Structure 1
Amino acid sequence: MHDNAATIESFYSAFDERDFAAMAACYHKNVHFTDPVFGDLRGAEAAAMWHMLCDQAADLAVTVAGVAADDTSGSARWEATYTFGPTGRKVHNRIDAAFEFSDGKIIRHIDTFNLWKWMRMAAGLPGALAGWSGSAQNKVRSTARKNLDRFLAEHPEYDAD
């Protein structure tokens, strides 16, 4: 197994164990993370987002498959199953991940998934009815950003200075 593939495996194993520090150790200090909910996060913001998600996940289970990597890039398909706190609904999200590496660490991480499907799982009928609309998806993004900003304010260890 290529060292970068092992890094991907370690990242998701740590996520399954809710070990945000081990996840952050897989990231380059200048990491750029992107997904449909949080958008673009850089550096400490990305590590803080995983920390926040680990703290919130009482019943999180993470699996990863199809891990592949070479000297510069990698990919994986991962799944997260958890209860979405605000609604108490069970979510089983399937995510395609793409990676770029620098100095043996993840410097670019792109997660791709269908936000409308996620909203249907997380919010039920309201998510199914409105989840396709840009305004509903932007509300999810805005809420996620506000939650991350609040988390960052409470965790000075992620201060970018």
Structure 2
Amino acid sequence: MHPHEELLHRFYQAFQRRDWHAMAMCYHPQATFQDAAFSLTGAPEIGTMWRMLCERGHDLQLTYNNVHAHDHQGQADWEARYTFSQTKRPVHNRIRARFTFSDGLIYTHHDAFSFWRWSRQALGPVGWLLGWSPFLQRKVRAQAAKNLQQFRARLA
């Protein structure tokens, strides 16, 4: 197995245990992370996001598969089942992750999923009606950034 594939398995196994510290250790210091809710730079900021999500995800269940990696790039599919904290609605999200590597660590991490599908589950009728719209996507991104900023402030 390629060392980068082993790194991704280590990352997702830590995620399954909600071990945000072990997850953060998989990132290069100048790493970037992007998904529909977050756009982050630097291992400390990315680690804080994972800490927030792991600590708040009391009922989080995660599975992953299709892990492939070579010298420069990697990918994985993963699924998360959890209760969305703001609405208390159940979510089953299917994600395709893409990675690049530097110095044996994750350098870029991009998670892609259907925002409309996620918003229908997490937000209910509002997500069903507006989940396709850039307006709701911007609103969710702004709320995620605010939540992360507040979480970071509580840690200081």
Output the TM-score relative to the length of structure 2: 0.96
In the alignment, is residue 151 of structure 1 matched against residue 112 of structure 2?
no
User: In 1, Cα distance between the equivalents of 2:106 and 2:136?
Assistant: 31
User: Where do 5+ consecutive residues of structure 1 fail to align?
Assistant: 157-161
Percent identity over the alignment is 49
1:30-109 correspondence runs (5 A) = 30-38=30-38, 40-43=39-42, 44-109=44-109
Q: Deviations over 1:41-80 (max 9, x none)?
A: 0112111111100010010011111000001110001111
Tell me if the contact between 1:16 and 1:62 (Cα under 8 Å) persists in the aligned partners. Answer: yes
Tell me the matched-pair count: 155
Aligned AA (1:17)? R
Report the equivalent of 1:159.
none
1:119-134 correspondence runs (5 A) = 119-134=119-134
What displacement does 1:12 show? Answer: 0.9
1:6-45 correspondence runs (5 A) = 6-38=6-38, 40-43=39-42, 44-45=44-45
- The SS at the match of 1:87 is coil
- The SS at the match of 1:37 is coil
- The SS at the match of 2:59 is coil
User: In 1, Cα distance between the equivalents of 2:83 and 2:29?
Assistant: 31
What is the Cα-based RMSD across aligned positions, in Å? 0.9
Output the TM-score relative to the length of structure 1: 0.93
Q: Which runs of 4+ in 1 moved over 4 A?
A: none
User: Where do 5+ consecutive residues of structure 2 fail to align?
Assistant: none
User: In 2, Cα distance between the equivalents of 1:89 and 1:151?
Assistant: 22
